[in-house]
């Protein structure tokens, strides 16, 4: 693909200060897009901004706050009048048994991984519709497809993202809106979220044993798949789930 694949496109990415979000942000800009980077990590956004140069926008925000989404929609609307690409990526999980998980911890995981996707979609829908052709990519996980022990709240949240994505795709299509909505399901990716697992050799070995391709993904490999869903190359895809897991869930 040429470097102008996303020329003239405005893309908003949450969780853009680190990991998969950051890799996707850099690739989008490299391929001609204009970036709106949202994250709660102000320092991380500053580092990203320094690497990107002028012409892009960073917004420090907690994606679980509905008030902040109202303000973000207003800021993006005032600046661009539309939004072409929305990558709902911010999120994290915590390992804990169900017995050890408090209701507050459960709600926190649901809020960051799932509520945020609903809020962004709700408040940015008009701007996405204004683009004429828009793409929403929602970050799920292979844990949104298959369960795992000690990951109950994360599995519930990512499974919720998977079906919310399909519901959105159908609703927008029924309304005649040209907004495609797809979910992405990475397996194990080397980011700050998983660094502890890689640091422990025994855990790293167990991890690799479950991956037919025998390696974890680089964030850039997920970014490539996200940008496929964001691009015209996936123009007949909506309500789909794209699995990028080195074969882990094929077994």
Instruction: Give the residues lining the site for ligand NAD (CB under 6 A).
Output: 15, 17-21, 39-41, 44, 62-64, 89-93, 112-113, 139, 141, 186, 188-189, 191-194
Shortest distance, CB of residue 155 to ligand NAD, whole angstroms? Answer: 11
Catalytic residue among 80, 92, 154, 236: 154
Which C-beta is closer to ligand NAD: that of 105 or that of 192? 192
Shortest distance, CB of residue 124 to ligand NAD, whole angstroms? Answer: 15
3-state secondary structure (DSSP) of residue 234: helix
In the residue annotation, 80 being an active-site residue is answered as no
37's enclosing H/E stretch is strand 34-39
Which C-beta is closer to ligand NAD: that of 17 or that of 128? 17
**In the 8-state DSSP scheme, what is residue 96?**
B
Could you give phi then psi for residue 49, rounded to 5 degrees? Answer: -60, -40
Which C-beta is closer to ligand NAD: that of 38 or that of 131? 38
Tell me the residue nearest to ligand NAD as measured from the CB: 19
Shortest distance, CB of residue 151 to ligand NAD, whole angstroms? Answer: 11
Beta bridge partners, 17, equal: none
Angstrom distance (rounded) from CA 144 to CA 90 = 15
| CB contact set of 23 (below 8 Å; sequence gap of 6+) | 218, 219, 220, 222, 223
Query: Annotated catalytic sites, by residue?
Result: 154
């Amino acid at each position: 693909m040429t470097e102008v694949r996303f020329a003239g496109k405005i893309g908003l990415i949450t969780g853009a200060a680190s990991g998969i979000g950051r890799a996707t942000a850099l690739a989008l800009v490299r391929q001609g897009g204009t970036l709106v980077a949202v994250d709660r990590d102000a320092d991380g956004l500053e580092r990203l901004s320094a690497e990107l140069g002028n012409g892009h926008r960073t917004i420090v925000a907690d994606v679980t706050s509905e008030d902040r989404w109202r303000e973000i929609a207003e800021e993006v609307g005032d600046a661009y009048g539309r939004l072409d690409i929305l990558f709902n990526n911010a999120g994290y999980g915590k390992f804990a048994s169900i017995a050890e998980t408090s209701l507050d911890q459960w709600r926190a995981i649901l809020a960051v991984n799932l509520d945020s996707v609903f809020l962004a979609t709700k408040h940015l829908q008009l701007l996405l519709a204004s683009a004429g052709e828009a793409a929403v990519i929602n970050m799920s996980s292979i844990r949104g497809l298959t369960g795992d022990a000690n990951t109950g709240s994360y599995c519930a949240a990512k499974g919720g993202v998977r079906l919310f994505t399909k519901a959105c795709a159908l609703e927008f299509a029924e309304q005649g809106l040209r907004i495609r909505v797809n979910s992405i399901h990475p397996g194990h990716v080397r980011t700050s979220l998983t660094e502890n697992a890689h640091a422990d050799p025994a855990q790293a070995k167990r991890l690799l044993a479950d991956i037919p391709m025998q390696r974890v993904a680089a964030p850039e490999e997920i970014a490539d798949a996200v940008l496929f869903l964001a691009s015209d190359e996936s123009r007949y895809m909506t309500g789909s789930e794209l699995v990028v897991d080195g074969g882990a869930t094929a077994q």
